[in-house]
Amino acid sequence: MTKEIDAAAEAMKEQISKMMKNFKLPDVDMTALVEGQRKNIDAMARVAQLTTEGATAISQRQLEIFRVTSENLSIGKPVRNVSRYEADGRGARRNRQEGV
């Protein structure tokens, strides 16, 4: 992940340098500018990673629901609409007690 952040920081530094040359602005210390934004770059990289992990977890849960539903249908077990309460596990204990 650090290599990706360093690559992003280097690309940002190059883009800002080109922009400064185009507008003929006085010399700016690009290293200091990029280092000042490193926390932002790190935060954005972490957010992207967490988003990917969250999407993966959701996809895996949906796949599990689909797999169980498919198995139940293949053995002729009726499939009922599962509420969010039951899907997240809070209703599982109640279902076992009721013999559902």
User: What is residue 18's predicted lDDT score, i.e. its pLDDT?
Assistant: 75
pLDDT, one tens digit per residue, over 67-91 is 988 888 888 887 766 655 555 555 5
Kindly give, in sequence order, each residue whose CB lies less than 8 Å from that of residue 5, ignoring residues fewer than 6 positions away: 38, 41, 42, 45
Q: How far apart, in whole angstroms, are the C-alpha atoms of residue 7 and residue 49? A: 16
Q: Highest-confidence range of 11-25, 26-40, 41-55, by mean pLDDT?
A: 41-55
Specify the amino acid at residue 26. Answer: P
Q: What is the per-residue pLDDT for 52?
A: 92
Residue 59, Cα to own-chain centre: how many angstroms? 11
